[in-house]
Amino acid sequence: MSIDVHYTVDGPEEAPLVVLSGSLGSTLEMWDPQMAGLAGRFRVVRYDIRGHGRSPLPRTPWTIADLGSDVLRLLDRLKARRAHFAGLSIGGMTGMWLGAHAPERVGRLALICTSPKLGTPEGWAAQAALVRAKGTGAVADAVIGRWFTPAFLEREPQIVADLTSMIAGTPVEGYAGCCEAIGCMDLRGDLGSISAPTLVITGEHDFAVPPEEGKLIADMIPGARLEVLADAAHLASWERAPQINDLLTAHFTA
Ligand SMILES: O=C(O)CC1=CCC(=O)O1
């Protein structure tokens, strides 16, 4: 069942609509490095995924389909028939679901550092249990270690500290519920039916969602294009922001 997520809108009123959907453990501020590059040409909608940031926490478990339904409800609230969509990690999982199940609402699709089936249900259940037992702060350092390359971690201590706080500030049940949604997800059978023009972006050093996952997605979505970014791990949108912004701009204006 869908809920009203918290969102912000930037950019000219008449510009093409682009929805940005972020990673597990993020708030909509994870897209800050995209705003200067995108908000001049697009009407950019960012939102907090359910149970994250300022979005409500549902009382019952949810699936990736529910995260997709939140986006459809958001488009309805914005009175938008369709939008371009870029999602990173769990945001990209949401994008794959939307592309397959609501093709009439999706213009062009960008899938960043994501996978149609990630890990095992047991592994994600263990991550959810860890967070429930010890809090999101207990996993923040490990997560940030997967988000960035060692060079970035050393070069940008303030950004790393800020984003570690963002992860640690994620409500426990929001984080755990999304772990469980990823654990029971398998979108591989959906990919062949996605008709939106699709750009797939991966980070060469992404150990959370290895680049092979992006290649698999690009092979299975008809006509999809793959870009593998060097010097990037999981949060490629931050570490390679100018390149991501150029790729998204070109893709959404093609
Ligand atoms: O938490 C991580 O390390 C990576 C991740 C998997 C799904 C997601 O959204 O982030």
For residue 206 the two structure tokens come to 């992404």
The 10s digit of each residue's pLDDT in 209-246 is 999 999 999 999 999 999 999 999 999 999 999 999 99
Prediction pTM value: 0.98
Residues with CB under 6 A from ligand 1: 23-24, 89-90, 143, 146, 182, 208, 234
How far, in Å, are 9, 11, 23, 175, 229 from residue 242 at the CA level? 21, 18, 19, 29, 12
For residue 35 the two structure tokens come to 């705003």
The Cα–Cα gap between 139 and 17 comes to 34
pLDDT tens over the chain, length 254 residues: 999 999 999 999 999 999 999 999 999 999 999 999 999 999 999 999 999 999 999 999 999 999 999 999 999 999 999 999 999 999 999 999 999 999 999 999 999 999 999 999 999 999 999 999 999 999 999 999 999 999 999 999 999 999 999 999 999 999 999 999 999 999 999 999 999 999 999 999 999 999 999 999 999 999 999 999 999 999 999 999 999 999 999 999 99
Supply the residue whose CA is at minimum distance from atom 1 of ligand 1. 143
Lookup result for tokens 């549902």: 58
Distance 93 CA to ligand 1 centre (A): 11
Distance 179 CA to ligand 1 centre (A): 9
CATH number for the domain running over 7-119+186-253: 3.40.50.1820
The 10s digit of each residue's pLDDT in 49-68 is 999 999 999 999 999 999 99
